[in-house]
Amino acid sequence: MRQYIRYIVPILIPLIILLLPASAFPVDGLTVVQQRVIAIFLLAALCWVLEPIPIYATSVVIIVLELLLLSDKGLYLFRQDEGQAHFGELLVYSDIMATFSSPIIMLFLGGFFLAMAATKYRLDVNLARVLLKPFGTQPKYVMFGLMLITAIFSMFMSNTATTAMMLSILAPVIALFGVKDPGKIAFALCVPVAANIGGIGTPIGTPPNAIALKYISEDNMISFGEWMFFGVPFVAILLVFAWFLINYLYPAKQDKIELTIKGKFLKTPKAITVYITFGLTILLWLMGSSHGMNSYTVALIPVAIFSLTGIINKEDLKKISWDVLWLVSGGIALGLALDKTGLARLLVNSIPFDNYSPYVVLAGAAILCLLMANFMSHTATANLLMPIMAALGTSMTSLTPLGGEITLILVVTFAASLGMSLPISTPPNALAHATGHVQSNQMARVGVIIGIVGVLMSFVMIWLLHLIDHI
C-alpha cells in the first residue's frame, strides 16, 4: 500500500489543486496561471520527498509541464482564456527552455570538467599524498589532515567523488584498528563530515550554493572570490569544531597510524596542461574584479581547453553528472515560474512577516531548511525554498538592517548544506555508512550537533560581515 501512495499522492494532490475554484484558496487575487504554478510546485515537492521517480526526472517534468501549462507556446487548450484579468501572465517559452543552459549550469559544468580532469590525471590523489605528509602518525592529527584535504577538494570537486576517493584511500588504514576501537568510527565518519562542510566554501562546492547565486539580486551580486571570503573561514572554523567533536566522541585507542598513498605527479604534456588550467581557472575565479570576467565566463575556459586538447573526450562526457545539472535546471525553472507569475510575492505578502522579529524569521527559515535537508536532497531543498526566501527577503523591511535578502538567502543556503544527520541525508553519508564502520545513531549524534552549531555560526558570521560593510 505504501508503494502505491508514493505514486498516487504526487499526482492526486496537484490534480485537485488544478480543479479547485480560485475562491477555495485563502489568497486574494490568485490567477489561473498562479494556480497552475502551485500545482506544479506541489508536484515537485512531493516527488522530491517521496521519490516515486528519480529526482532529476522530476526536474525535467517541471520544465515540460511549465512549457505546456504556463508558456506562451503551450497547448492552446490551456491558453484560450489568455488576456482576461483572472487568467494572469504567461511565461515566454524560451525563458523556460533557457534554464537548461543557465549561467549557473555552465558554472557547474566547468567545475565538473576540472574535477574529471584532476581525477583522470591523478592530480587529486597526488595532492592528497603530498598534503598529508606533514600530519605525522598520531591518529588525531592524521584525521585532521584527512578532513582538511577532503574539505579543500570538496570546494572544487563533487562531494560524492571526493568522499569515494578518500574512503578508498582509508580502507586499508581503517582495517588496522581493533574491532572495538572507536577510532574506526572516527576515521570513517570524518570524511563525509568534511566533504559536506567543505562544499560550502565555494559557489561550485555544492548545488545549493549555485542556486543561491541565482536568487541574489544584481545590487548584491557576490563574485567567486567574495563567496570564498566568507565561505572559507566558515568552513575552517566549523571543520575544527567537527574535528574536536569527533575526537571527543570517538577517541582512537591506537597510538600510531601509517597512511601510505602510492603515486607520483605525471609529467606528460596533457597532465601539465591539466595542472596549469586548474590553477589558472581558480586564480581567475578569485581575481574576478581585476580582469572583468565573471565566474560563469571563466568556468567555460577549462571546458574549451580540455575539449580542444582531448583531455576530456566523448567517453568522458558520458560520465559527467548530467543528473545534477538537470536537477538544478528544474529548480531554476520552478523559481522562474514562482517569480515571473508573481506567485512568490503574492504568497509572501499574504502573510504579515513584518509583524515578526527578523531574527525569528531567519531562525525559522534556517531550521525549516535544516530539517528538510536531512530527509531529502540538498539541491531539491534549495530548489523549493530559495525562490520563496528571495521574495520574502525583498519584501521584509525589518530584514534591511540585517542585510536584507542576501542574509536570508545565505542562512538558508548554509543550512541546506548542513543537513548531514542520516545516511540518506547526503551521498557522502551514504558512502560512509556503506563501509559498515558507522551506525546511523553515531552519524546522527555528530550530524545534529554540527548542523545546529553551523546554523548558529552562519548567523554570527553574516552579522559580522554586515557590520564590517557598514564601518
CB 323 within 8 A of CB 54: yes
Whether the Cβ atoms of residue 250 and residue 186 lie closer than 8 Å to each other: yes
Task: Give 3-state DSSP helix, strand, coil % of the chain, rounded to 5.
Answer: 75, 0, 25
pLDDT tens track for 43-70: 988 888 788 888 889 989 999 999 999 9
Q: How far apart are CA 184 and CA 100, in angstroms?
A: 43
In this predicted structure, what is the pLDDT of residue 304?
Answer: 95
Condensed to tens digits (0 to 9), the pLDDT of residues 189-207 reads 999 999 999 999 999 888 8
Instruction: Dig out the grid coordinates for 140 from the structure.
Output: 588525531
Residue 252's pLDDT is what?
A: 85
Determine the pLDDT at residue 295.
Answer: 84
Q: How confident is the model at residue 403 (pLDDT cuts 50, 70, 90)?
A: low
- CA-based torsion, 426, 431, 435, 436: positive or negative: positive
Task: Give percent above pLDDT 90 in the chain.
Answer: 25
Tell me what the pLDDT averaged over the chain comes to.
85
Distance CA 152, CA 189 (A): 17
Q: How confident is the model at residue 28 (pLDDT cuts 50, 70, 90)?
A: confident
Q: Which of 310, 304, 238, 257 is nearest to 277 (CA)?
A: 304
The reported pLDDT for the residue numbered 19 is 82
Q: Mean pLDDT, to the nearest integer, of 277-283? A: 90
d(CA 281, CA 300): 9
3-state secondary structure of 341: coil
- What is the reported pLDDT for 83? 67
Q: What is the pLDDT of residues 80-94, one digit of tens each?
A: 777 676 788 889 999
Cα 424 off chain centre by: 15
pLDDT interval class at 310 (50, 70, 90)? very high
Confidence at residue 218, expressed as pLDDT on a 0 to 100 scale = 63
pLDDT at 377: 82
- Whether 35 has a pLDDT exceeding 60, the answer reads yes
Is residue 137 predicted with pLDDT exceeding 60?
Answer: yes
User: Going by C-beta distance under 8 Å and a sequence separation of 6 or more, which residues neighbour residue 15?
Assistant: 39
Position 219 scores a pLDDT of 64
Q: What is the mean pLDDT of residues 121-137?
A: 82
DSSP code, position 25: S
pLDDT of res. 274: 93
Cell numbers at residue 421, please? Answer: 544527520
Residue 91 β-bridge partners: 71
The greatest distance separating any two alpha carbons of the chain, rounded to the nearest whole angstrom, comes to 77
401 — pLDDT class (breaks 50, 70, 90): low
pLDDT value for 159: 87
**pLDDT of 400 above 80:** no
Residue 117 has pLDDT above 80, yes or no: yes
Q: How many CB atoms lie within 10 A of CB 222?
A: 20
More confident residue, 283 or 6: 283
Average pLDDT over residues 129-141: 82
Grid coordinates standing for 163? 568522499
Mean pLDDT value across residues 400-407: 71
Higher pLDDT, 465 or 313: 313
Confidence of residue 351 (pLDDT cuts 50, 70, 90): confident
Amino acid at 38: I
The per-residue pLDDT for 18 is 83
> Percentage of residues in the chain with pLDDT exceeding 70?
94
Predicted local confidence at residue 370, as pLDDT: 92
Q: Chain-centre distance of CA 397, in angstroms?
A: 28
Joined grid coordinates for residue 312: 576530456
Task: Characterize 119-139 residue by residue with b for buried, 16 or more Cβ atoms within 10 angstroms of its Cβ, and e for exposed.
Answer: bbbbbbbbbbbeebeebeeeb
Residue range 70-87: mean pLDDT, rounded: 81
| Residue 2 confidence (pLDDT) | 61
82 or 379: whose pLDDT is higher?
379
Q: Is the pLDDT of residue 405 over 80?
A: no
Q: pLDDT by residue (tens digit) across 205-246?
A: 888 998 888 887 666 678 888 888 889 999 999 999 999 999
